[in-house]
Amino acid sequence: MNHRVELIPIFEDNYVFALINEQGHVVLVDPGESTPVEKFLEHNDYDICGILLTHHHNDHIGGVLELVKTFPAPIYAPLKNKTQIPFADHYVKDGDEFSISDMNFKVMELPGHTLGHVAFWNPDKKWLFSGDVLFGLGCGRLFEGTFEQMFESLQKIKALPNETLIYCTHEYTEMNLQFCKMLGNFDDSPITGDDENLELYENELVNKRSLDLPSVPLKLFVEKKVNPFLLASTVKQFSALRELRNKQ
């Protein structure tokens, strides 16, 4: 299946993901703003066949109602966010599987950033649309969930195939790199990173960003080597890291 993903930048550092098949049918993930997405669709003569929402924050859902006025399409949202996202057509929970056009998805509940947060896994391409759970060299802030929940959510991501590509919704990698480099300066750092792999990561990141290319998608097998939040082996380690990051 000749599917691809295109990134539509919105706001300062968000991405909307457009999964496109050979027929030009598009599944959108987290359209937090409508105008850039409408321009993308109209310029390419695409139609929306589905909209996937990972959680209820406005920078992920704010463009949906405006978009479906022009491009009617079914909306999939977390069942646990039914109150916050009352306009969805389908509410999904952990383990649910569904297809839109010829694109297949499995739902993973990943609480922590929010209590109802889900990710959408495409098993054919090994793509994970992870919302705000995992970022390049980082992870999402805990607005609603506990350290234990977020730690377990990251373990679920770590268990995916190594070749997984992770489509996270924010371009935070450069900022998170600075935190990773600072970790080595803390005497009581909960994690000691892999300096060699981090240097390779930095070189690739600098090259991409100097060309105005996104750092997304992330390669899971690389993040598992250098992302301190994936390297944390206990909830205690993870909690200490997250608290350090909150202060930066």
Average pLDDT (19-23) is 95
Across the chain, mean pLDDT equals 94
Contact 26, 20 (CB under 8 A): yes
Side chain identity, residue 95: G
pLDDT in tens, 136-187: 999 999 999 999 999 999 999 999 999 999 999 999 999 999 999 888 765 5
Output 195 or 179, whichever has higher pLDDT.
179
Is 25 annotated among the ligand-binding residues?
Answer: no
pLDDT in tens, 85-119: 999 999 999 999 999 999 999 999 999 999 999 99
d(CA 156, CA 151): 9
Is 43 annotated among the ligand-binding residues?
Answer: no
pLDDT in tens, 200-226: 999 999 999 999 999 999 999 999 999
Is 170 annotated among the ligand-binding residues?
Answer: yes
Is 59 annotated among the ligand-binding residues?
Answer: yes
Q: What pTM was computed for the model? A: 0.95
Is 57 annotated among the ligand-binding residues?
Answer: yes
The separation between the first and the last C-alpha atoms of the chain, rounded to the nearest angstrom, is: 43
The two three-digit tokens of residue 28, written as one number: 């959108």
Is 3 annotated among the ligand-binding residues?
Answer: no
Domains and CATH numbers, the chain: 4-246 (3.60.15.10)
**Which residue, chain included where needed, has tokens 């909306």?**
75
Is 132 annotated among the ligand-binding residues?
Answer: yes
pLDDT-based confidence at 248, cuts 50/70/90?
Answer: confident
pLDDT in tens, 115-144: 999 999 999 999 999 999 999 999 999 999
